[in-house]
Structure 1
């Protein structure tokens, strides 16, 4: 049994990982900017972009292991990708007790998607983890689905619900392999319990691959809607997406657009061999996700 500090514990993925750690008997300290308790785990306030505060918090908690989940999908003010993903990861690494396992949340395509500062900074953070001198494991999940998720529960839901027709980016053939939050929580927890799986990066993807068009069809079906799907040529999207950034809350950011065009898929053989994963299917969970 370990005392595990989970950063970003109050987020969608954080709550699931905290719950799984507790279910398996681990002690958990839930770290987040507000410091609220999560699922019965005591909370501590933590701003990973503040190096001194991060050092003090981890010195007080003295965790046996750290699960680092903090990340953003959109920059706001001084919360930039570089500051949160790179500087924040560096600060947590520097404050983690030597010898403590460090389980890091990255993203599929980290460092390899042109035009995406999100991808670039995720790749830089991975490099810091791998050269930290700590026992480490890096997970690279695809789109994560579950009740309360941001993509299927909000972004895609709004896309298919707002207008009389559903806009499809390009020809809709970009591939995706979404993974359930339950699979992600199982992988992170088991990585702490199976030290022989460390020192590696694992793609976390689900059991099935879908095109973007198929995801639109699934979302419409889950909502009980029938609408025409109209392709929007990429040259038009290339012009429209930058113009959308003047809105207080753009329907799609530049980084999200770059990542959509790149697709989000990878084989999951290595993760399935190392960990016992439920491999839940998107189409089985989607009706509940969109209704919430």
Structure 2
């Protein structure tokens, strides 16, 4: 009798285990199906006609999405994030570059095996190379730009002549379905700097030549690990006895996180409504340059050594650096270039979100605050002695007041 009771108990235990295993298997299967469905939705809703016949796999990185994207400017700050986003959907990447192999080796991992095609020794002046780079692509992204002129490339060539050359190649190819063009917030015909004026002229070239298939993005100053915003301020703070604020740093800016810009670009590719449109991308917070600098000093735990400098005085100092950059391979600091000074001097305007334009909300992206959490984590590594230390680990807010989570910023779009 006892043996029969024990056997019955074993049978009940085995049955329960079998049922639990079946339930676990069903749950795992449901989770896997949901994951596959999510990946399929992520990669299959790219709005390019004719790619459905080219798709293969469940979606995601190890699939074939039907997208072949040529990304000009892939080795730049924003370029690597856009390349990674497209590669993660199963897109094939064609990456023209003129860098040393060690400078672009990280791009080889942006797509799955066999999905990344590197094109070394590329020149934007070589029309045949341009045509070869886009010969099999249905998506072309242009992120080539210049923050300073060099003895090799000027603003007019990079921002106007290059888009015109690329537009001709795209028209001749007959295969490109979509074109993404990166401009800048503040790029207007009456802008104070040649950099911004030439960018505005390049935008007009794109609209006139490729309007029906183009989408233009005008991001504010972009922040992130490899940026030329907070990194520039922090580098100057660590290497120079003072940091000049052009006309007192009163110009207002609305920085945007690089990953939010990449997300907006990807979301624009999911709808045909974005064709022919221009999007302005700015973060949630408005700050003056002085407040951005104060926040930088506070974050890296250094005393604020910024000093006001009249634009006229800074312009005189910039002439020497400009001449050096135009005649030799050497370049001076961006902050001491004539164009940067022209953009930062008072009297023209601010680099904030204009009213009545398309923005993040039209692309279903909620931008992050650039001075909180992960978006600003990289800046803390400038602290002397290591991440947890610093020459000045003071309490309280930095100079500039409260708000913005830190130095006197204004939450929300500019009034």
TM-score by length of 1: 0.90
**Partners of 2:83 and 2:154 in 1: how far apart?**
26
Aligned equivalent of 1:58: 134
**Partners of 1:274 and 1:199 in 2: how far apart?**
14
**Partners of 2:225 and 2:245 in 1: how far apart?**
24
Aligned equivalent of 1:235: 312
Q: Does the Cα contact within 8 Å between 1:48 and 1:89 map onto a contact in 2? A: no
Q: Does the Cα contact within 8 Å between 1:4 and 1:65 map onto a contact in 2? A: yes
Q: Does the Cα contact within 8 Å between 1:152 and 1:290 map onto a contact in 2? A: no
**RCO comparison, higher one (Cα < 8 Å, 6+):** 1
Residue in structure 2 matching 1:11, options 76, 79, 87 = 76
- Matching of residue 68 in structure 1 with residue 142 in structure 2: yes
Where in structure 2 are there 5+ consecutive unaligned residues? 1-64, 325-329, 383-415
Aligned equivalent of 1:33: 98
1:66-86 per-position Cα deviation (integer Å, ceiling 9, x unaligned): 111111111222311111221
5 Å-filtered alignment, 1:207-286, equals 207-247=284-324, 248-251=330-333, 252-261=336-345, 262-267=349-354, 270-284=358-372, 285-286=375-376
**Partners of 1:113 and 1:176 in 2: how far apart?**
18
Q: Structure 1's 289 and 28: CA in aligned 2 closer, same or farther, altered over 3 A?
A: farther
**Partners of 2:360 and 2:165 in 1: how far apart?**
31
Describe the SS at the equivalent of 1:218: helix
Q: Structure 1's 160 and 263: CA in aligned 2 closer, same or farther, altered over 3 A?
A: farther
5 Å-filtered alignment, 1:103-252, equals 103-112=180-189, 114-133=191-210, 134-153=212-231, 155-247=232-324, 248-251=330-333, 252=336
Q: Which structure would you say has the larger Rg? A: 2
**Partners of 2:241 and 2:198 in 1: how far apart?**
37
**Partners of 1:257 and 1:165 in 2: how far apart?**
17
The Cα shift of 1:176 comes to 0.3
- Matching of residue 47 in structure 1 with residue 123 in structure 2: yes
Q: Does the Cα contact within 8 Å between 1:142 and 1:205 map onto a contact in 2? A: yes
Q: Does the Cα contact within 8 Å between 2:96 and 2:133 map onto a contact in 1? A: no
**Partners of 1:113 and 1:240 in 2: how far apart?**
25
**Partners of 2:133 and 2:87 in 1: how far apart?**
21
TM-score by length of 2: 0.65
The Cα shift of 1:243 comes to 3.5
Q: Structure 1's 287 and 273: CA in aligned 2 closer, same or farther, altered over 3 A?
A: closer
Q: Structure 1's 112 and 245: CA in aligned 2 closer, same or farther, altered over 3 A?
A: same
The Cα shift of 1:56 comes to 2.6
Range that drifts further, 79-88 or 258-267: 258-267
Where in structure 1 are there 5+ consecutive unaligned residues? none
The Cα shift of 1:50 comes to 1.9
